[in-house]
Amino acid sequence: MLKKCLRDQWSVDDLDWSLTPRRLSRDDEISIVQYFTDMASIERLAKALFVEQAKRAHDPLLKEILESFIEDEERHAVVAERLAKHYDRHQYREYETNPHLLRFAPCFIAAIQQVSAEVANAYITTGEILLDVALLRSLSDFVDDAMCDGAMEFIDRDESRHIAVDFYMLEYYCSDQYRQHLTEAPRKTLIARGKQLKTFVSMLYHSGPFARDVFFGPMDMCDPSGKRMLQAFKRIQLVAAKPSVARRPITRFFRVIQVLFNHPILGRLFGRLLARVIGLDPRVLPELYTQAEERRASSMSFDDFAKEILAIKFASS
């Protein structure tokens, strides 16, 4: 993996920035420029996550791999900024990063610094599946020109490595070896736990408007059928249903909310509130897989899972 990370580095100037964007309607131009403006900040959030992961990595090889991911995410942010400028042909207005994203970012960074590396990894794995399988692919189809396709092709190459390592880490956090490590680690004080919980709740509180504006909203615009969005969430649900993942506390927390949401009475009474608590759109909370799919997923290795996600991503292009 490290060899691949070093070999496949690229520069923003490897892309052909002289290409002319296809003709876009006023509304489409505004949406696209706004989206790339926001994407730059999302990529920097991914970067912040890898900074945390790299700080906590004990294995020097893994540390070096994660440090290469930090560089990748910064490069993606710069590409997104350049794409925003590239498509801003008519300068219809000034573009600013979405205010909900700006509010969410510091809470998110504070949360990942305080929560365990396991929870940070759960967030990055989920985020990268959503960004990769659903959002960037749909956005690229929506923009539909050579400039954007070229940029996404380079970004995709990096993201494929990220997903492979996300799943490798997920496997470790679900292993007996990690559970053993947890039992030997010194216990946190009550004050430290309280602080952790407060930061986590604050992050959850800001995650709803953030996800609505920078994920669900753009997805509705780029992929009105919702096909890619549901495909991505189905994969996330299937990973979460794997027995070794399902027993982890962070998975159990989201699972409890989902079960309550799908309860015939409680769901009807509190469904919207429950979805708001975890910051997700109610459309992605029903169980999106069949029992046969669950059985199959349970018997798959983490590596096969990562490969299948990447296959779906490329098949849907």
The yes or no reply on residue 313 touching Fe ion (CB under 5 A) is no
In whole angstroms, give the CA distance from residue 157 to residue 162.
9
Helices vs. strands in the chain: H and E counts, helices first: 16, 0
Helix (H, G, I), strand (E, B) or coil at 152: helix
Give, to the nearest 10 degrees, the angle between helix 190-211 and helix 99-114: 150
For the bound state, the minimum distance from the C-beta of residue 122 to Fe ion, rounded and expressed in Å, comes to: 15
The yes or no reply on residue 44 touching Fe ion (CB under 5 A) is no
**Residues sharing a CB contact under 8 Å with residue 113, sequence separation 6 or more, in sequence order:** 52
* CB-nearer residue toward Fe ion: 39 or 238: 39
Q: Mask 70-109, x = binds Fe ion (CB under 5 A)? A: ---x--x---------------------------------
For the bound state, the minimum distance from the C-beta of residue 39 to Fe ion, rounded and expressed in Å, comes to: 9
Contact region for Fe ion (CB under 5 A) — 4-12, 37-45, 200-208, 301-309?
37-45
Q: Return the beta strands (E) in the chain as ranges.
A: none
- The two tokens of residue 98 are 């979405």
Contact region for Fe ion (CB under 5 A) — 46-54, 80-88, 245-253, 273-281?
46-54
* CB-nearer residue toward Fe ion: 241 or 306: 306
The alpha-carbon radius of gyration of the chain (Å, integer) is: 20
The yes or no reply on residue 162 touching Fe ion (CB under 5 A) is yes
Helix (H, G, I), strand (E, B) or coil at 315: helix
**Residues sharing a CB contact under 8 Å with residue 221, sequence separation 6 or more, in sequence order:** 31, 142
Q: Mask 57-76, x = binds Fe ion (CB under 5 A)? A: ----------------x--x
For the bound state, the minimum distance from the C-beta of residue 313 to Fe ion, rounded and expressed in Å, comes to: 13
- Residues binding Fe ion (CB under 5 A): 43, 46, 73, 76, 159, 162
